[in-house]
Amino acid sequence: MESFWHYQFWGNTILAYTIAAGSIIIAWLVIRLLRGKVLKKILEYTSKTESKYDDILFSTIQKYILPWIYIFVNYQILQQLNWVPKWVRVLHVAMAVVTTYYFVSIVNHVLTLLLTGIMRRRNETEYRMKQMRGALLVLKIIVWAVAIVFLIDNLGYNVTTMIAGLGVGGIAIALAAQTILGDLFGYFVIFFDKPFEIGDYVTWADKAGNIEYIGIKTTRIRSLNGEQLVVTNSDLTKQALSNFKSLQQRREVLRIGVTYDTTIDVLQHVPIMLKEIVESKPKTRFDRAHMAALADSSINFELVYLIHTTDFTEYMDIRQAVLFDILTRFRETKINFAYPTQTLYYKATAAV
């Protein structure tokens, strides 16, 4: 019987194989025990807390960390056996691949739960959720790409040499990756910081228009002339941008010049007239109206009022209505607008 247990098979005795198999079974039973007893207690505790982070931690342990621990224990058990170098290499590569897979899965799992939780707490629309899933897919691809590079490096291959061997193609790939990552980062800045949303009227540099679409790489803007502007997210986030959606009111300053032949009584009535005109219009608030200056060719009045609207067209309609009323009232009261003129006076001299 003793000779049976010491019988050599592929470099190991049957006893060694039996011990390894028994250890694997024991490890499986321990993992089952942890899942059935310990994790159940942890779940009962985390379900009672308001924090979502412990729920994320629990799901990560249950789905990924425990399975990886079981595989890692099995790997260590198999390492105790005598293998030919080829099989040792196979075990090492397999463990590296499995570890990379679980590491990436954990990162992507945590990212998904965190971002989804943030979006739900903000009560985001379904369109925004769809955008987030698209960005998350790109982010997962990047995580996988980085992990594969590290995997290749850990397996003993020189990644730098491999990329350098591509020559011009390697440089092109590096530049393209840099551009894509810059645009992706710009998208996340727009997505989470919300400097603007679809439908907002924005101006930047010498351009202006309404936001039509926010993509992972570009943002599309419909200009006032009707053409569609396509701007990369990285360029859009690098420049100062004005968003008029958050503008709850607009301050108007209007300067009016009247002629010097206007009587004092009429001049004193001009500020009252301007106040009445502004207060007769909806969504306006009168601030002040004063005689501001005695200019070379006019007596200047300054009117300041606020228009309470975020809609640009409505703002222009109200502003236009105020201007029309000023023209009408001034003509009714025979007030003449001044414009730059010069009057020359000639004094006749007596003949000698």
Length of the chain (residues): 352
Q: Are 200 and 95 members of one domain?
A: no
What separation, in Å, do the N-terminal and C-terminal C-alpha atoms of the chain show? 158
**Strand partners for 255:** 302
Q: Please give the C-alpha separations between residue 132 and each of 19, 57, 137, 177, 182, in angstroms, as whole numbers.
A: 50, 22, 9, 21, 17
- Examine residue 76 and state whether it is found in any structural domain, yes or no: yes
- Classify the phi-psi angles of 108: left when phi > 0, otherwise alpha if psi is within -120 to 50, otherwise beta: alpha
Could you tell me the strand order of the sheet in which 207-214 lies?
228-232, 218-223, 207-214, 201-204, 241-243
Q: Are 318 and 279 in contact (CB under 8 A)?
A: no
- Examine residue 156 and state whether it is found in any structural domain, yes or no: yes
- Examine residue 44 and state whether it is found in any structural domain, yes or no: yes
Q: Are 135 and 151 members of one domain?
A: yes
**Strand partners for 243:** 202
- Examine residue 340 and state whether it is found in any structural domain, yes or no: no
Q: Are 58 and 22 members of one domain?
A: yes
- What the block records as the tokens of 145 is 């790409």
Counting Cβ atoms within 10 Å, is residue 182 exposed (0-12), middle (13-18) or buried (19+)? middle
The reported pLDDT for the residue numbered 3 is 67
- Examine residue 129 and state whether it is found in any structural domain, yes or no: yes
Distance CA 309, CA 248 (A): 6
Q: 3-state DSSP call for residue 218?
A: strand
Q: Are 239 and 257 members of one domain?
A: no
The reported pLDDT for the residue numbered 342 is 66
Mean pLDDT by 10 residues, the chain (352 residues): 62 73 82 73 70 75 84 82 79 89 90 81 74 79 85 77 60 66 78 81 84 85 87 82 81 94 93 96 95 92 93 89 96 89 66 53
Pairing of β 299-307 and β 284-294:
antiparallel
The reported pLDDT for the residue numbered 152 is 84
The reported pLDDT for the residue numbered 329 is 95
Q: Are 10 and 132 members of one domain?
A: yes
Q: 3-state DSSP call for residue 333?
A: coil
- What the block records as the tokens of 64 is 């990924």
Q: Which structural domain range is residue 269 located in?
A: 250-332
- Examine residue 339 and state whether it is found in any structural domain, yes or no: no
Distance CA 272, CA 47 (A): 68
The reported pLDDT for the residue numbered 70 is 84
Distance CA 166, CA 178 (A): 17
Q: Are 208 and 233 members of one domain?
A: yes
Q: Are 39 and 175 members of one domain?
A: yes
Q: What is the total count of domains within the chain?
A: 3
The reported pLDDT for the residue numbered 167 is 56
The reported pLDDT for the residue numbered 244 is 79
Distance CA 81, CA 33 (A): 27
Question: pTM of the full predicted structure?
Answer: 0.57
- What the block records as the tokens of 199 is 């439908």
* CA angle in degrees (0–180, nearest 5) for 31-32-38: 80
The reported pLDDT for the residue numbered 2 is 56
The reported pLDDT for the residue numbered 7 is 63
